[in-house]
Amino acid sequence: MGSGKRKLKSARKAAAKIPTWFADSNVPFGIKREVEDALARHAADNGLTVGSARFKKLTLQDICATLKLGHARWRGVEPSMINVSTQPAMKAL
């Protein structure tokens, strides 16, 4: 019974931490470049070839750790915060 309340509280805390720019539909060029760089780094580190089945299955959640390594704006972002279906910036990326 109490666990449901805890889940709601943790969901609210996570929602409060989501960067406000996730709701922007116009994604700045710099952010697009950061994602491209992280994708390239992730592919190189994991031996993925462009066009392979594993490469095509990559998501923003998969490269979140690589984004954190290269760019400070991503340091507070967790994969669970990224929701491509509801966040305009994530859809654009």
6-56: pLDDT as tens digits: 555 555 555 557 778 888 888 888 889 999 999 999 999 999 998 899 988
Max Cα-Cα span within the chain: 48
**Res. 71: pLDDT tops 60:** yes
Q: For residue 7, what pLDDT is reported?
A: 56
Structural domain range at position 35: 2-92
Query: How many domains, the chain?
Result: 1
The pTM of the whole model exceeds 0.75: no
The 10 Å CB-count burial string (b at 16+, else e) for 43-61 is beeeebeeeeeeeeeeebe
Q: Is 33 exposed, middle or buried (0-12, 13-18, 19+ CB in 10 A)?
A: exposed
